[in-house]
Structure 1
Amino acid sequence: MLTRTTWMRLCVLTLVMALVIQLSGGISTAEAAAKSKSLNDFDVVVIGSELQGVLLAKAAKENGLNVIILDPRSKAGGELIQGQMLVLDPVNDNKGRSLIQGEIKSLFNGYNAGTIRKLSSFESYYKRLIKDIPIKNSIVIESVEIDTKDADKSVKSLTYRAKDGSKYTITSEYWVENTDFNVLTSKLGGTRISGMEVISKVNKPDYMAATYVLKFKNISWGKLHQKVLEDYPLANVRKKYGANTYVDWNFATGFSNLTFDYKPQNSQLMLRGLNATYQKDGEVIINALLIYDVDPSDPKSVANAVKKGKEEAPHVLKYLRKHIPGFEKAELNGFPEYLYIRDYNRYETKYVLDYPDLMSNTMFWDNVTIGGYPVDLQATRKVKKGVGYGKPDKYGIPLRSFQLKSYNNVVVAGKNVGATIKAYGSARIMATTALAGQTIGIIMGRELQNNKRLSELTKADFQRIHKYLEKDYKIVLNR
């Protein structure tokens, strides 16, 4: 037991040491407290590691904000890396001019040039984006504290459980929903935007099918290309193989006359027309095996769908060997760990983009991205072959379509965009929502320097914002 004298000497020694540390430039008690606080206070918290939110996080960090990514999934990368959805869709206006801008353009440039085709090159690209951004995987949101004192609510803090079971409460200026199953926004009491039930005419929520991406090797792409060329002109090709059939030295689409005759082993699956990319060295990746009724918020549903996709793959292989030129000696080339989720619950935003906005080429005062992809709604159990509603020329999507309704500090990223189901058929495309992610991240950082929040921005502000986006980032959004 310490004597009173020894205890007093220890107290004096502790005070002296603290004073010495402070005078010598070390960490003071106040500084230590501030540092401890900063570990739990952020400018931007991104929930989920899908590419679009990662681009937002990167842009925000580059513009001076304190950013963290909290990922409910066990591994980072989402559909792009874990789902290996490496088949990229271009976005063009009706004159064939690319509408892809910003950071995502470097990915598409590499993809089109053939230098970014295989998983390893996509992983390198993704790792570059997340460099220096802290990511915590396998988190579980325990609770969300909501401030209701203003007309628009705000998320004040969030408590999550880490992988090791520890609990943390954090605060942030902005919160970004970046998962494919709305792990944050589903807890905030918003109104769900009607989904495919509007098209399928069923009396319950309905969703476009997910995809299990198929990977093959030992493909003779040259033979596939040559055999299709022999059937030209293109009208004859499409009569033989199906609408939208096309093959060049890098990409192939269509063949629906053949694929729709495939009989899957499981009624939850369907093989639609091929959307294939040649990855070089005889390797091909195909986005075509649809899986109905996947609930991305339920790990068991996802695991079951992945299992069924793996079990179906050898049967698809056998069928393609028999029916698709160049696939005679094909072999399976591994399996993704996850799925490509096209569609799940989305919640109302401050402006819900509508189909007439697309088809009338609407440009908004607060544009944060430009779209132009065809209105493409994929299959459900009832809408067996999907449905299209035309090709818009060029349209804008406003910041308001990425701001959760009734909240002043919640942003939705990627396929969570606020759009009616027909508008969503075009607006959901990755290149379009990726540009929005980067743009919103830039605006967050630069406008906070002026003490302006997203919810406070006016038409006059956006005239200024569009100017610096064009001047400093070559992102053109107002014409």
Structure 2
Amino acid sequence: MRIGIKGLGMLVAAVLLAGATWFSWLVWGQGGSSGKMLNEVRNKAAGGASDTAKQQPLKVVESVQKLKGEYDVIVAGTDPEGVTAAISAARSGLKVLLVDGRNRDILGGLMTIGWLNTLDLNYAPEASMIPGKHNFLNKGIFQEWYDQVEGTSFDTHTAANVFYDMVRHEPNIDLLMKVKEMNPITEPSASGSGKRVAGIELVKADGSKQTVRAKAVIDATQDADVAAAAGVPFTWGREDIGDKQSQMAVTLVMKLSGVTPEVWQSFGKHKDTGMDAMSVWGFPEMKEYASTNKERVRMRGLNIGRQNDGTILINAMQIFGVDPLNPQSVQEGMEIGRKEAPHIVQYMKEHFSEFKDLELAGTAPELYVRESRHIQGEYRLTMADLLDNRDQWDAIAYGSYQVDIQSTNYQDPGAVMMHPKQYAVPFRSLVPKQVDGLLVVGRAASFDTLPHGSARVIPLGMATAQAAGVAAQTAIENNISFRQLSQSADAVKTMQDKLRQRKVELSMQKFDPPAYTKHKAYPGLKAAVSMFATTGGYDNMQWKLDDKSNAQRFVNNMLAVRKAHPDAFKGEPSAALKGMTDPAKQPLTLEQAALTLGNAMGLKTLEEKTIRHLTERGWIRQETIKAIEQPAALTNGDAFMLIRDIVATFAGKTYE
């Protein structure tokens, strides 16, 4: 086919335009101040992300009239993970009871009642070449649901209706709402070791009790309530890094009204702020807001999700000191947030022209709780897994969201630990220790508190839930327990094959290993990151391995190590700074590092606190000393390697 000069010019222009569009999407779509991918404006016919979309009325959710005495699977919890687990099991041919235990009227929980309508998404390392088209690591049921809502943020009515439609169209699911109590039935396991969950005793909305037995139970409650009641061991909050009294802040989402198309477009013009058709992230100046309740409430930059009724939902209010398992504490947190919300909105109206005509239209009916219990499973996801971008032989889902550690108190700024490319969640992380017949999905699964900062996001939770439904089918068909399934390569492969048949992608993509993994101090970095002694930021560059450390910074490093291992490090590392002027400006010498280590270890004499003594005792490896190029000015990488050695040899803990 021949193309004339005019036609050739038009073709070149089209190619250049397409290339510019693709380049713009590639550059802007990977980041933003919160690491979200920019989405091109998308107008969907169903529900729509357009300025003329109308909010759907909520569909009335109906409960089953008569329960069976036994089901193949009981799923506890109607958050997105519970809905997904129920659908997955039902599509596997199992009879399923899906139970709500939080007095809800609709499905979707945190998304639809907690109003968390902006998604934290796991993007694949290899981006889609089509502008506006996202390539997620979590496909399957999550992708099916996502394709029916508006986009990276969604209208909560749309989301609730889609969840309900997906459930009610499955004939194998019985749905029971507003249950007052769910108490697990336990009995000795068939192996004679430990116990198994054999069903749940329900107290229904009318106060009547009914015992329902099941071949398998999936705990999709936010806080692993069923698992804890059954005796599953767990850690609380940051307990695994030595801080049991702390967990990430909770949030009360706010609703603002009066958002016209012009107002919406104005948000994206604000400095350090990005947007797509349904989401806005930025306004970092909100951190300067002076709370009326300083020790309990603080603001962070805004995450804004668009609704279809001229309103927006804002996830940015951090509330501290709330115990999510204590109803009185939860109610107090709600009241603190409701009281603070008008002051926050007034501040926004006065300081940002984009908000001057908007009004507070309410707060969410439920708190957004980020962290509580972390169960102890057959495998515990670690920071080393994420740093290594590690695959697992029993992978059932993949994540890539940044490790976002929210503040624990008003003085804590929070941190982004790092941004993995892709890591696997193993099936073993859903299988609790000591109790069989039970799987735990979502944020309460077996994750250390730090990697939980990434693995807690809902799309990954939905992926683990889909795997749990298929695992139930696999275990029942093969007449094995979940623990036996987790130990059988053949059974796991069967489960993985079933997931692939359901459009779940279970493979690592190809990408170059991150630069930090090739650094000589990488083993030390893994140890330091795992103990929350350093953070890498969104770009994995803030560790600054080749930059010079200083005397104060190394003390700060060791304070984090002492918190993580208090039984081993009972001394005071800051004693090493005695008599030193402005230690943050003093280079970290090898001997100063040894003095700091010795003090942290509780060694008594000055001789014991020298590098010679530490190496002679085998606490510091000779290889580590030889790798130090400038003993008079250690780098951060040098410091981390010393920490790695001393924790491995003195505390007996390695982070590999």
Query: Shorter-chain-normalised TM-score: which range?
Result: 0.7 to 0.9
- What is the TM-score normalised by the length of structure 2? 0.61
Structure 2 residue aligned with 1:184: 226
* Aligned residue in 2 for 1:106: 144
Aligned to 1:144: 185
> Which residue identity does 2:118 align to in structure 1?
V
Q: Match for residue 448 of structure 1?
A: 476
Question: 1:82-107, CA deviations, whole angstroms, 9 ceiling, x for partnerless residues?
Answer: 21211111211444442131111133
Bigger Cα displacement from structure 2, 314-323 vs 93-102? 93-102
Q: CA deviation at 1:284?
A: 1.2
Is structure 2 residue 106 aligned with structure 1 residue 84? no
SS at match of 2:111: helix
| Contact 1:212/1:340 (<8 A) preserved | yes
CA shift, 1:364, in A, is: 1.2
**Correspondence 1:135 to 2:173:** no
Label 1:193 to 1:474 Cα distance change in 2 as closer, same or farther (>3 A). Answer: same
The amino acid of 1:63's aligned partner reads S
2:506 is the counterpart of 1:465: no
Shift of 1:49: 1.4
Question: What is the DSSP-based 3-state SS (H/G/I as helix, E as strand, rest coil) of the residue aligned with 2:341?
Answer: helix
* Displacement after TM superposition at 1:453 (Å): 4.1
Counterparts of 2:149 and 2:287 in 1: how far apart (Å)?
26
2:157 is matched with which residue: 109, 112, 120? 120
Change (3 A) 1:437 1:316: same
How many angstroms apart in 1 are the aligned matches of 2:102 and 2:78?
8
- Alignment partner, residue 416 of structure 1: 444
Report the Cα distance in structure 2 between the residues aligned to 1:38 and 1:262, rounded to whole angstroms: 52
In the alignment, is the contact (CA less than 8 A) between 1:88 and 1:108 conserved in 2?
Answer: no
Q: Distance in 2 between matches of 1:462 and 1:157?
A: 24
State the Cα distance separating 1:71 from its structure 2 match. 2.6
The equivalent position to 1:269 in structure 2, one of 285, 297, 305, is 297
Q: Go from structure 1 to structure 2 and tell me whether the alpha carbon gap of 1:113 and 1:74 turns closer, same or farther (over 3 Å shift).
A: closer
- How far apart, CA to CA, are the structure 2 residues paired with 1:356 and 1:176? 28
Q: Choose the corresponding residue for 2:98, options 69, 72, 86.
A: 69
1:321 aligns with 2:357: no
**Aligned AA (1:80):** M
1:129, distance to aligned residue in structure 2 (A): 3.0
CA distance in 2, matches of 1:388, 1:364: 24
Q: CA RMSD in A?
A: 2.5
Q: Which has the higher strand share?
A: 1
Larger deviation: 357-366 or 265-274? 265-274
> After the TM superposition, which of the residue ranges 258-267 and 119-128 deviates more from structure 2?
258-267
Deviations 1:312-339 (A, max 9, x none): 2211111111223321100123332111
Query: What residue identity is the alignment partner of 2:92?
Result: N
Shift of 1:447: 4.8
Match of 1:214 among 246, 254, 267: 254
Q: Distance in 2 between matches of 1:79 and 1:209?
A: 15
> Within the alignment, does 1:437 sit opposite 2:437 as a pair?
no
Q: How does 1:164-313 map to 2 (within 5 A)?
A: 164-197=206-239, 202=243, 204-220=244-260, 222-223=262-263, 225-226=265-266, 229=269, 237-238=271-272, 245-265=273-293, 267-280=295-308, 282-313=310-341
- The answer to which of 350-359 and 293-302 deviates more is 293-302
Partner of 1:335: 363
Give me the whole-angstrom Cα distance separating, in 1, the residues matched to 2:299 and 2:311: 20
Residue 389 (structure 1) shift: 0.9
Partner of 2:386: 358
* SS of match in other structure, 1:257: helix
Per-residue deviation at 1:406? 1.8
Q: Which SS does the other structure have where 1:80 is aligned?
A: coil
Give yes or no for contact 2:138–2:505 (8 Å, CA) kept in 1. no
CA displacement at 1:65 relative to structure 2? 1.4
TM-score w.r.t. the length of structure 1 is 0.82
- After superposing the two structures, state which structure 1 stretch, 419-428 or 274-283, moved more: 274-283
The answer on whether the counterparts of 2:295 and 2:410 sit within 8 Å (CA) in structure 1 is: no
The CA deviation at 1:212 is 0.6
Classify the secondary structure of the residue corresponding to 2:432.
Answer: coil
Q: Secondary structure at the match of 1:421?
A: coil
Measured against aligned partners, the alpha-carbon deviations of 1:232-282 in whole angstroms (never above 9, x if no partner) come to xxxxx34xxxxxx42344322122223333324464221111111223554
| Aligned counterparts of 2:325 and 2:400: Cα–Cα separation in 1 | 30
- In the TM superposition, residue 197 of structure 1 has moved relative to its aligned partner by 4.9
Equivalent position of 1:161 in the other structure: 203
CA–CA distance in structure 1, aligned partners of residues 420 and 257 of structure 2:
36
Shift in alpha-carbon separation, 1:266–1:111, aligned structure 2, 3 A: farther
CA displacement at 1:190 relative to structure 2: 3.1
Query: Separation in 2 of the partners of 1:453 and 1:189?
Result: 17
Q: Secondary structure at the match of 1:253?
A: strand
Partner Cα separation in structure 2 for residue 261 and residue 335 of structure 1? 19
User: Is 367-376 or 91-100 further displaced after alignment?
Assistant: 91-100
Deviation per CA, 1:432-463: give whole Å up to 9, x if none: 11011012212322552343443333212333
Q: Which residue of structure 2 aligns with residue 400 of structure 1?
A: 428
User: Are the aligned partners of 1:180 and 1:296 in contact in 2 as well (CA < 8 Å)?
Assistant: no
TM-aligned CA distance change 1:314 to 1:73, over 3 Å: same
Once structures 1 and 2 are overlaid, which stretch shifts more, 289-298 or 430-439?
289-298
- 1:45 pairs, out of 45, 65, 74, with 74
Confirm or deny: 8 A CA contact 1:55 1:434 kept in the other structure: yes
Gaps of 5+ in 1: 1-36, 232-236, 239-244
Shift of 1:221: 5.7
How far apart are residue 390 of structure 1 and its match? 0.6
Structure 2: tracts of 5 or more residues without a match: 1-65, 128-134, 509-656
- CA-CA distance at 1:192 after TM superposition: 2.1
Question: What amino acid maps onto 1:467 in structure 2?
Answer: D
1:3 paired residue number:
none
Residue 478 of structure 1 aligns with which residue? Answer: 507
Structure 1, 403-412 or 159-168: larger mean CA deviation = 159-168
- Distance in 2, Cα, partners of 1:253 & 1:327: 15
Matched AA of 2:140: G
1:19 alignment counterpart = none
Task: Provide closer, same or farther for how the CA distance between residues 448 and 228 of structure 1 changes in structure 2, counting only shifts above 3 A.
Answer: closer
Question: Separation in 2 of the partners of 1:178 and 1:439?
Answer: 12
Indicate how the Cα distance of structure 1 residues 264 and 109 shifts in structure 2: closer, same or farther if over 3 A, else same: farther
